[in-house]
Amino acid sequence: MSDEVESLDGFRERARVFIRASLRPVTRRTVASALRANRTDEEELADVAREREVQRMMFDAGLAGICVPREYGGQGLTPAHQRVLNAELRGYEYPTRAQVPTFTPCLAVLLEFGSEAQRRRHVPAILKGEELWMQFLSEPSCGSDVAGALTSAVRDGDEWVLNGSKVWTTGAWWSDWGLCLARTNWDVSKHSGLTVFMFPIKSPGIEVRRIEMLNGSKEFCQEFLTDLRIPDSYRIGGVDTGWTVGSRWMFHERMSRNSPLVTMPEGTTRAGGAGATMHAIARAAGRLADPGARELIGEAQTLQLVGEALRRRIGQGITTRTMSDQSSAIGRLFVGLAETRRATIAFELAGSAGATWIDDDGDLAEWGIDFLMRQAMCIGGGTTEMAANVISERVLGMPREATPDRDLPFRDVPRSRTAPG
């Protein structure tokens, strides 16, 4: 292969030919809402299998891992190429579930901190759709305070023995590998005694329990690690230096769709264009001529277009170093507030059929369920309150909140009175 970077036009043509010949167009119905529990397990597993297949097809077509170096199976191209791919994928299926958390933060963490052997083994497997990764990060005892992890890892010769519980892993029941933050030293301060590990999820010693959400979804899981034994070769980064990895991990998580590692077709963010979805609801309700309804449709579309523009700006800013890495929190805060507002708008437009419906109600039905789940958009992936802390403290440089746990040995840090879960 030559060292010359493929031209954007040539790349676009190649992507377009592959996409039109091999991928299925998406209908709006299938992307109407990410918050609905409307799939059976069999359908979910079939979707996962199809996504692995699509990922493999993209790998074979030279379209997987656009910004991943060639030595790990990627294309070694630029964020501009990724943007071209995103544009060309508009309206087509793509491996949704593989993007977050597999490509970011997990793949990003592997590329940044994994050993050469770890990268060579796992990065190509991810690009081929053979490995879907999950984050074993949050714990029942600490939500956004992830550095307060209580899951312990104790060294035993060439092995580590892990015990504890992780929670809020999406789809751990159909995933392959986990990236895990664990405590390896309780006698030093909170951030100084952590280490990062990886392991296959289907290991003896890991019990995956599915959590039923209030909308009936069972995608989220909680895992119980009981004397899980893993080799030292599964450790990522140095012992007790896990927070160095962890803070970058957090960054890559906040990058989410802004990450150049993530494939995200344009215009197919949730609901296939908020304006179009709201239009469909208002039409079903016979409210298209109502100026109030038109204003709500326009507001949803405004948030959609502004959100896309902001995502591109932050992505560009971080890539070109004109913005700090921490600016990704701005995108996170915007998305949380915009999505919650959109859920409210949809519910408002749907009227009473949003709360009580029959099958014949079509586009009017079920929006109340999304409304019930609304705050998930401001909680998952780090709460909007955490994002607001990061923006004020790390972007604007305002004084940090008092952290009484910083200078104590972790075993002496006060904890919640009753550990939930």
DSSP class per residue in 217-254: ---EEEEEEEEEEEEGGGEES-TTBHHHHHHHHHHHHH
Residue in 365, 380, 370 with CA at minimum distance from that of residue 36: 370
Q: Is 280 in the site for another protein (CB under 8 A)?
A: yes
Beta-bridge partner residues of 199: 178
DSSP class per residue in 113-133: HS-HHHHHHHHHHHHTTS--E
Residue 142 in contact with residue 148, Cβ under 8 Å?
Answer: yes
User: Where does this chain touch another protein (CB under 8 A) — which range of 61-69, 199-207, 242-250, 293-301?
Assistant: 293-301
When the beta carbons of 87 and 188 are compared against another protein, the nearer one is: 87
Judged by CB under 8 A, the number of residues near another protein is 50
Q: Is 295 in the site for another protein (CB under 8 A)?
A: yes
CB of 98 to another protein, least distance (A): 27
Cα R_g (the chain), whole angstroms: 22
Task: Please tell me the distance from the alpha carbon of residue 109 to that of residue 377, in angstroms, as a whole number.
Answer: 24
Q: Is 395 in the site for another protein (CB under 8 A)?
A: yes
Q: Is 26 in the site for another protein (CB under 8 A)?
A: no
With CB under 8 A as the contact rule, the residue among 104, 217, 268, 327 that binds another protein is 327
Residue 162 in contact with residue 198, Cβ under 8 Å?
Answer: no
Q: Is 87 in the site for another protein (CB under 8 A)?
A: no
With CB under 8 A as the contact rule, the residue among 10, 25, 204, 291 that binds another protein is 291
At residue 25, the 3 state secondary structure works out as strand
DSSP class per residue in 163-222: EEEEEEEETGGG--EEEEEEE--SSSBGGGSEEEEEEESSSTTEEEEEPPPTTS---EEE
User: Where does this chain touch another protein (CB under 8 A) — which range of 76-84, 306-314, 349-357, 370-378?
Assistant: 306-314
Q: Is 301 in the site for another protein (CB under 8 A)?
A: yes
Extract the tokens encoding 200: 């296959």
CB of 346 to another protein, least distance (A): 14
Q: Is 392 in the site for another protein (CB under 8 A)?
A: yes
With CB under 8 A as the contact rule, the residue among 320, 417, 418, 420 that binds another protein is 320
With CB under 8 A as the contact rule, the residue among 276, 372, 379, 413 that binds another protein is 276
CB of 324 to another protein, least distance (A): 12
Instruction: List residues binding another protein (CB under 8 A).
Output: 273, 275-276, 278-280, 283, 288, 291, 293-299, 301-302, 305-307, 309-310, 312-314, 316-317, 320, 322-323, 327, 329-330, 333-334, 337, 385, 387-393, 395-396, 398-399, 401
